[in-house]
Structure 1
């Protein structure tokens, strides 16, 4: 995509300095946002037996949590634009902590849906959104690397939480474990404290006028029509709305390509991770070995994400980074389609390694390519719009996959379905970005040709005026 989309910030990002502390804070915040719902699957087998519910019903716990995290995107974007990243992340940490404490006293599965799913999910939205947004304000040249490092927080936290949750369950049961996890997730407040607003010292960024102020006309004579009180209120409302929700993004070609492909992709995005440990236990693997699969997955993932960021930052990949993302999506689909061929625990380990590579590549690029498409200035609103639309497939994906397990009594059909839901959008991305890059190149050539013509016409006009002046003289 054209670099201009990401460079018009109104100031020069430091590309380092305190930005690396911000990356650390984002690392922690993003880590809990994505790893926490996955790590809770360790308790699913026991909670399922405790409440006597099906695979599909227990899957709703993680599903509602992830969907709430995505549905809270627009609200989080508004709060970030209004208050900045730091207080929003700290509030999110408090919400998730409170949700886990309340869930530890749950008496029905509905109680877990509301506490862990809804309250905890919205808390994670307040952790995720600001962490993604603030990186774009601190980094420009090294942005793919910074995003890759920050996104590595998810596998690192998952690698730690997966065996820790199994240990906590053995010692304290799922209720005691939820209480302890409520205190652990308070680290998000520490992460938020690191997210100091960027010092825009080179050139101040032009901000939209406050909602309670009407933009002043530069030329008073141009203000022919006096605004009535009704027109004034309407103008203020539109100013506030467009400040926080950039609906013009729905006319942005690259944004629409990203949105359409992601909606399909997210039906099969989370379910393979959510059901990895239960699938292993269904195959007769013991509890700790099943939990260790998540650790292997996270270990591979944590090395792949920064490596993907480094690779995406190279001069060969970054100008066409959307192709790299398309490959990552399709690669995930192929892994899931081949998963049922894995035989025994060794086969599951091999699948987990390849899946970890695929998942790490995709996650490292997921938000970088959106920022590449719409630019850092519009990213906060763009990611809010994307997540609210994606919350549908995020909500329905794992329960539908669980319903397939309930119906057939086998996990292979669930993995086949997830593979198709990932492979199809991967092919779609390849095709659409080929044409999108082609159209962008044509538009750039036309723009350069128009600039050349305008320059030539200006020179010709200047020459003619000079000749006319000399003739008159």
Structure 2
């Protein structure tokens, strides 16, 4: 199994110190980014009745917000590469706050699409991507653990925001709740203040490869290009690394994730509405999200610890593939759950599965491309993933509208998760096999070149000796 891609940062990450404060800031920022769109589902039924909309129309609110968060990835990457993580996260917190305050005055569902979906979604993009990137600057050996702890922010915030939103709705209505949430979410600015730029003395490069493995070769093939180029593409590459589209492992990751995201968020979005459809009371329905989030909360750091073990870390791509397929199996079994107790069991298993995928989602990407290319990699990945993120929940809502039942939606999401899980497992197996063959061929060529050089030296040495003898 090839080692992970090298991290040519020019310094050794501290793997601790202020890095744990950075993890705390990322914990808060990621928590708001992922939990906020999901927690708003508490208001769906009431907003749907207020604006007289269908399931699919109301699902567009969180869907647009998530899609905008993913679509803003490249912009966020460019800003992070130019200005660093701290100011970008602070700007994002202000944007989400403004969007939520403005949405409290909405008079049509379109206003919610714009204020919550677009403005709030782009604000979350400026929170998510910088938080993920800066962890790779501070951590290397302990990176899976740091990523697992930071990604645990999502379930922790979801378990808090779900009952809080129900309380705010009961006390102030959905308009008053949105106004208050606008102030709460500006705490992202506090998280951004913890993400100070790393100041480590750069090490002098020895000019030699780290280990010469095939995975390094794949990662660096596109990096070995002339230092000076002119043209539009070169100017674009100064801001975001488009050469990643020549990286085979990255392309496999992208294809699997694009399919996966069609069924990734919809089961969470419709968990509480599904419970209400089964005649479960509102607080018990909200409690399902809290149970899901509580299990997810522990699953993420535990997954990070497991992924950091010597046995799992070299095989982390396979671990991620299994996690995706396991999600699909959970969704496919959900329709067989009967009563509230069955939904609780589903929420527990789903929480484990969801936490595993989220803890590994960006760690496996950094494992493929290295920390120095991660900012560009995640930016390009999110823009490609925004289409399934945008369309997934509305399509699922349309299935509910057509069949008047949630079972078909959960079956569909199960298939959309299980198939890419199998695809990733198979393609990663062949990718590692191809890498091993390429490495074997590379070493064979080096041996041939080395033999040819030695033979040439012998010939030159013999020629010199003959010349000396002739002169003598």
Partner residue of 1:229? none
Cα drift, residue 5 of structure 1: 2.1
Partner residue of 1:269? 264
3-state SS of paired residue (2:13): coil
Partner residue of 1:295? 290
1:320 matched to 2:315? The reply is yes
Cα drift, residue 15 of structure 1: 1.5
1:371 matched to 2:359? The reply is no
Preserved CA contact (<8 Å) 1:332 1:355: yes
Deviations 1:104-157 (A, max 9, x none): 111111000000000000000000010111111111111111111111110011
Cα drift, residue 24 of structure 1: 0.9
Name the CA distance, whole Å, in 2 between partners of 1:79 and 1:372. 23
1:196 matched to 2:196? The reply is yes
Preserved CA contact (<8 Å) 1:6 1:371: no
3-state SS of paired residue (1:6): coil
Preserved CA contact (<8 Å) 1:31 1:153: yes
Name the CA distance, whole Å, in 2 between partners of 1:4 and 1:305. 21
3-state SS of paired residue (1:235): coil
Report the TM-score when normalising by structure 2.
0.91
Name the CA distance, whole Å, in 1 between partners of 2:6 and 2:303. 20
Distance 1:10 1:452, change over 3 A: farther
Distance 1:96 1:241, change over 3 A: same
3-state SS of paired residue (1:267): coil
Moved more, 96-105 or 130-139: 130-139
3-state SS of paired residue (1:203): coil
Cα drift, residue 317 of structure 1: 1.0
Partner residue of 1:85? 85
Preserved CA contact (<8 Å) 1:6 1:140: no
Deviations 1:245-266 (A, max 9, x none): 3222222111111111111111
Name the CA distance, whole Å, in 2 between partners of 1:238 and 1:402. 40
Preserved CA contact (<8 Å) 1:262 1:390: yes
3-state SS of paired residue (1:16): coil
Deviations 1:42-93 (A, max 9, x none): 1111111111111111100000000000010111111111111100000000
1:146 matched to 2:146? The reply is yes
Name the CA distance, whole Å, in 1 between partners of 2:309 and 2:443. 26
Preserved CA contact (<8 Å) 2:101 2:178: yes
CA RMSD of aligned residues (A): 1.6
Name the CA distance, whole Å, in 2 between partners of 1:89 and 1:462. 59
Name the CA distance, whole Å, in 2 between partners of 1:469 and 1:321. 56
Q: Tell me, which stretches of 5 or more residues in structure 2 are unaligned?
A: 206-227
Deviations 1:413-438 (A, max 9, x none): 10011001001111111111110111
1:284 matched to 2:279? The reply is yes
3-state SS of paired residue (1:244): coil
1:438 matched to 2:451? The reply is no
3-state SS of paired residue (2:53): coil
Cα drift, residue 291 of structure 1: 0.4
Partner residue of 1:225? none
Cα drift, residue 203 of structure 1: 2.2
Name the CA distance, whole Å, in 2 between partners of 1:34 and 1:262. 17
Cα drift, residue 448 of structure 1: 2.6
Distance 1:17 1:204, change over 3 A: farther
3-state SS of paired residue (2:280): coil
Name the CA distance, whole Å, in 2 between partners of 1:183 and 1:259. 36
1:352 matched to 2:347? The reply is yes
Cα drift, residue 391 of structure 1: 0.7
Distance 1:161 1:4, change over 3 A: closer
Distance 1:4 1:159, change over 3 A: closer
Deviations 1:139-183 (A, max 9, x none): 111111111111111001101101111111111111111111111
1:310 matched to 2:292? The reply is no
Report the TM-score when normalising by structure 1.
0.91
Cα drift, residue 393 of structure 1: 0.7
Name the CA distance, whole Å, in 1 between partners of 2:424 and 2:414. 16
Moved more, 461-470 or 433-442: 461-470
Distance 1:460 1:11, change over 3 A: farther
Name the CA distance, whole Å, in 2 between partners of 1:316 and 1:34. 30
Cα drift, residue 237 of structure 1: 4.6
Cα drift, residue 472 of structure 1: 2.9
Partner residue of 1:220? none
Preserved CA contact (<8 Å) 2:92 2:125: yes
Cα drift, residue 395 of structure 1: 0.5
Q: Tell me, which stretches of 5 or more residues in structure 1 are unaligned?
A: 206-231
Partner residue of 1:221? none
Name the CA distance, whole Å, in 2 between partners of 1:380 and 1:276. 32
Name the CA distance, whole Å, in 2 between partners of 1:90 and 1:191. 8
Cα drift, residue 194 of structure 1: 0.7
Name the CA distance, whole Å, in 2 between partners of 1:117 and 1:127. 15
Partner residue of 1:426? 421
